Amino acid sequence: MENGVSPKYTVVINGKPTGPYPLEVLKTLTILPGTFVRKPGMDDYKEAHEFPELRELLGFTYLKTAPQYFASFDQRLLASVIDYFIITIGYAVLILLTFIFISEKTERIGAIVIGLPLIPLAKFFYSSIAEAGLKQATIGKALLNIRVTDMEGNRIGLGNSFGRNAAKILSTLPVFFGYLYSFLNRKQQCFHDLIAETLVIKDRLI
């Protein structure tokens, strides 16, 4: 309720927006958990089960991991590219700072090459910590509005997160088949998701 006035809801029925309706009228309509609904202040529609007041009014259960919420392979790949880009920029800045103390060209090249393994190592630790954090996502995943959860849509523990990211080694063998397997899995899980019993989900907006 805003300023003492109950918000009115626009409901998509038979593919067409109808309303807006006050909350008390919604119970007279045929609204399912997956019916798209929007109220003032929202840029996009969400499904009815995502609104606490509608769950209370209509007796819905919050469906945290409905099939349409699973993040696709290309979304996950793009998120990883973004994360690697950010980490690589940080690595480049670090290398440039070391050049203050290294003047020889061969030594500078050596510093660059020797430090390259730090990039995937940093990605491993960063992803493990971030995906077990409050946002359940790295910067790349957060930008695409996707996050890592357990099989019921809840936050995973730090140990499980480290195990999941370590298991990505298995997803790369052979020829990245563990990643490509997501195309064959209805929950779009890679091998490391199956091992860690995790999902990567997306908050779907119409």
DSSP designation for 195 = H
> In whole angstroms, how far apart are CA 144 and each of 25, 74, 141, 175, 204?
35, 11, 5, 26, 11
Distance between CA atoms of 107 and 21, rounded to whole angstroms? Answer: 70
pLDDT of 159: 96
Residues 200 and 73 sit within 8 Å (Cβ to Cβ) = no
Give the model's pLDDT for residue 5. Answer: 58
pLDDT at 2: 47
- Report which of residues 60 and 182 the model is more confident about: 182
Q: What is the pLDDT of residue 167?
A: 95
52, 58, 62, 67: CA torsion to nearest 10? -130
Token pair listed for 87: 């980490």
> Predicted confidence band at 123 (pLDDT cuts at 50, 70, 90)?
very high
Q: Which of 105, 112, 9 is nearest to 58 (CA)?
A: 9
Higher pLDDT, 14 or 1: 14
**pLDDT of 35 strictly over 80:** yes
Assigned token pair, 59: 């007796």
Do 125 and 87 meet the contact criterion of CB atoms below 8 Å apart? Answer: no
- ∠ CA(84), CA(90), CA(95), 5° rounding? 120
Q: What is the mean pLDDT of the chain?
A: 86
Whether the predicted pLDDT of 127 surpasses 60 = yes
Over the stretch 150-204, which tens digit does the pLDDT of each residue have?
Answer: 887 889 999 999 999 999 999 998 888 999 989 888 789 999 999 999 999 986 5
